[in-house]
Structure formats: structure tokens, C-alpha cells
């Protein structure tokens, strides 16, 4: 066999690939177990959400609302970091001996 060619296609090339495959297997096992638990907890007769929840105006509106909430939070954090108190603290930290 030439160098670098393996008989086993499923053998990891290096340790990192082996770790990633192990992590993926653990995640898939967890997802399968969670799906089984959810199947037991949610009755089969459970209905789907009402049709108005799936209409485009509602889903677009919810997306816009979430975007506004996230953007608003970022604006508030940005304003905080632009405040004189934070600037004074950062200036004091820059002058402190290390």
C-alpha cells in the first residue's frame, strides 16, 4: 500500500478527527435519547400550532421583534461603554502600572 492510504475508510487520520467523531457520536446519542423522552412526554394526539401562528405576517413580525430586541440590547451596551464613567475607568486602567 502507498504511504498515507489506509484499508479502513472509517479510521481517523489524526487524533483531532477521532475526538470530533466521538463528540458527534455522543451528541447523536443524546439527541436520540431526548427524542425518545419527548415522544413519551408529548401525547400523540397533540395538535399542531394554530394556523395563524404559521402565517407569514406573524412569523415576519416575530423575526422583526426579535431583531429589535437584540439590536436594542446592543445599543444599550454600546451607550454604556461610551459613557464618561467607563471612559474614565478605562483611562485609569491604561495608566496603572503592571
Task: Spell out the domain ranges in the chain.
Answer: 1-46, 49-98
Q: Which three cell numbers stand for residue 90?
A: 478605562
pLDDT average, residue stretch 79-97: 85
Q: Which residue has the cell 447523536?
A: 28
78 vs 39, more confident: 78
User: 38-63 pLDDT, tens per residue?
Assistant: 888 877 766 777 787 788 888 899 99
Please give the Cα distance from 96 to 98 (Å, whole number).
Answer: 6
Q: What is the DSSP letter of 53?
A: G
Q: What is the pLDDT of residue 1?
A: 47
pLDDT at site 25: 93
Kindly calculate the radius of gyration of the chain based on its CA atoms and give it in whole angstroms: 26
Structure confidence by residue, pLDDT tens digits, 4-24: 555 555 555 677 788 888 899
Amino acid at each position: 500500500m502507498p504511504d498515507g492510504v489506509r484499508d479502513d475508510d472509517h479510521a481517523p487520520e489524526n487524533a483531532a478527527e477521532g475526538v470530533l467523531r466521538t463528540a458527534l457520536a455522543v451528541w447523536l446519542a443524546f439527541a436520540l435519547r431526548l427524542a425518545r423522552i419527548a415522544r413519551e412526554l408529548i401525547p400523540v394526539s397533540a395538535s399542531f400550532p394554530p394556523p395563524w401562528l404559521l402565517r407569514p405576517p406573524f412569523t415576519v413580525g416575530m423575526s422583526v421583534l426579535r431583531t429589535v430586541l437584540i439590536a436594542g440590547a446592543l445599543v444599550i451596551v454600546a451607550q454604556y461603554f461610551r459613557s464618561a464613567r467607563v471612559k474614565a475607568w478605562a483611562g485609569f486602567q491604561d495608566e496603572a502600572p503592571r
